[in-house]
Structure 1
Amino acid sequence: MLITIFSILDFISERTKEGLKARAVKGIKLGKPKGVIQSSMYNPDKEKILHLYQLGVPIQKIISTHLGYGKYLSLKEFLKKCGSLENIK
């Protein structure tokens, strides 16, 4: 059974490597192009987030109560990029 699992993983690895080589031969680059700025998942709610944060609502409370999505560190980084966080501990 254990040998079967490893052989399946080995097969998947080989297929992936073959696929990557085939794309490289065709000249297709993988991944995000350099210099592309991706929009944040928080952009649609930017005004709401900034307003709540300026009112003194904690980041975790904004996520759990008002947004329903996201993580503490990602929202903290978003606020930092927006210039709303001055003194981060």
Structure 2
Amino acid sequence: MASDDYIEECLYRVQNLIDRALTELMEVKMIRENDPTEYAFIQKELADLQGEVNELVSEYNQDPRLEDAQKRLNEVREIMIKGI
């Protein structure tokens, strides 16, 4: 069972990665249209972190913060897939 500190740390990483992903999406669209290297790396990070959050959601299914993080990660992944 994960601790509250671990959940908080995971939620912080979710927000940080979402911010980085959206920034990278804008940069790829505006500046580096033919250089999606960091873009692909962030997509993999999103998938990995979403897996971690999914595990926490199944363990702590009553925590709305985790469900919100799960939803936001999924939305950002979809935006990234459609974005380029």
Instruction: Settle same-fold status: TM greater than 0.5.
Output: no
Structure showing greater relative contact order (alpha-carbon pairs closer than 8 Å, 6 or more residues apart): 2
Name the structure where helix makes up a greater proportion of residues: 2
Question: Which is greater in Rg?
Answer: 1
